Structure 1
Amino acid sequence: MRKGFTRRPQADAPAAHGKNYITPSGLERLKHERHFLLTKERPAVVAVVAWAAGNGDRSENADYQYGKRRLRQIDGRIRFLTKRIEAAEVVDPEAPRTGLRMSKAFFGATVHYVNATGEERVVSIVGTDEVDLERNHISWVSPLGRALMKTAAGDEIVLHAPRGTEQLTVLEVRYERIPVEPFREPLGSESGVSIKRVDR
């Protein structure tokens, strides 16, 4: 067992790194969401608010109150996405690798491991904005992600997770494309209903 993986990860490790590692497709998803908010959702909500403002008393105008609250949420999300995009450090899992970077797990690796009970699992190590547990995409700063970092096939590690301690054996480390769910315009978004509200 490698002793380097028996220590408990520090709780503040993500903040200490200050980097927003992300895959190319993950970055595209953030950009698409921001573009949607800036070009469709926000203008639609602004139109609803302008229409509602012309309907009299704003203090009892539900459309106006909701619209202003939604506008604050959208602006907050746009600011968040902008900061994440500006801080992004793109790492392509499919980029050519040499030396230890070919056989050891780093950001963008897909790792096949088994636990002490014989249960096997395959996970891909991605950025915090790309976590998708249904696809087995885990954050590089999660307890499991940090435990798997720098491991190679045959390594045994001890995972310290909130649910307890677990011993894992790495079976394979590989690098391949990690498909990230693309951004899709949400159903019932303001951009789809704003014209009806404005015209009524």
Structure 2
Amino acid sequence: MSKIPLTVVGAELLRNELHHLKTVERPAVINAIAEARAQGDLSENAEYEAAKERQSFIEGRILELGSKLGNAQVIDPKTINSDGRCVFGATVRLEDIATGDVVTYQIVGDDEADIRQCKISISSPIARSLIGKYSGDIAEVQAPGGVREYEIVNVQYI
């Protein structure tokens, strides 16, 4: 399997979720299964079925997180020296040429992406158009409404 790029913060979030699943969620669902099993007939026991389904989800997520962390390439944006170039982990300030709106995004891994926190996936169209460009360059992004142009105002590694 290929390496999965993650920022230091993103890797820590996945580790915390994995720890929570193993130490809190897994024991809780095991107790729920035991309680449902104690109620008797399992063939018509909705609580038992729900607990088993929840257990299946938790175990699947534990395996998924373990695999992602095992294949992670953790990149600390603070240690990147890319001479002002847009790279993974960079925080990029953009100005929409058509509207003048200014936005700031950090380019992160797929699992870390959250537009509400201004974190965009490395595989998103906007991030792909930014990679390799410098402050002052124009990035053309194919959006659903047509091509949008953004000027790169600033690139930081924070």
TM-score normalised by the chain length of structure 1:
0.75
What are the superposed Cα offsets for residues 131-150 of structure 1, whole Å, 9 maximum, x if unpaired?
A: 12111110111101111101
Once the two structures are superposed, the pairs formed by residues 41-80 of structure 1 within 5 Å of their partners are 41-80=25-64
**Residue of structure 1 in register with 2:107 after alignment:** 125
**Residue of structure 2 in register with 1:102 after alignment:** 83
Tell whether the 8 Å contact from 1:102 to 1:174 is kept in structure 2 after alignment: no
Instruction: Give the alignment partner of residue 162 of structure 1, picking from 105, 126, 144.
Output: 144
**Residue of structure 2 in register with 1:145 after alignment:** 127
Tell whether the 8 Å contact from 1:157 to 1:169 is kept in structure 2 after alignment: yes
**Percentage identity across aligned positions?**
38
Instruction: Give the alignment partner of residue 111 of structure 1, picking from 82, 92, 100.
Output: 92
> How many residues are matched?
157
Cα separation, 2, equivalents of 1:150 and 1:67:
48
Tell whether the 8 Å contact from 1:104 to 1:173 is kept in structure 2 after alignment: yes
Letter in 2 for 1:67: A
117-126 or 156-165, which moves further after superposition? 156-165
Cα separation, 2, equivalents of 1:49 and 1:57:
13
SS at match of 1:58: coil
2:72 is equivalent to residue 88 of structure 1: yes
Large movers: runs of 4+ above 4 Å: none
| TM superposition shift of 1:114 | 0.9
Instruction: Give the alignment partner of residue 135 of structure 1, picking from 113, 117, 125.
Output: 117
SS at match of 1:105: coil
| TM superposition shift of 1:28 | 0.9
Greater share of residues in strand:
2
Cα separation, 2, equivalents of 1:91 and 1:163:
33
**Residue of structure 1 in register with 2:156 after alignment:** 174
Gaps of 5+ in 1: 1-16, 177-200
SS at match of 2:34: helix
Tell whether the 8 Å contact from 2:93 to 2:103 is kept in structure 1 after alignment: yes
SS at match of 1:59: coil
What are the superposed Cα offsets for residues 32-55 of structure 1, whole Å, 9 maximum, x if unpaired?
A: 111111111111111110121121
Higher relative contact order (CA 8 A, sep 6+): 1
**Residue of structure 1 in register with 2:18 after alignment:** 34
| TM superposition shift of 1:83 | 1.0
Gaps of 5+ in 2: none
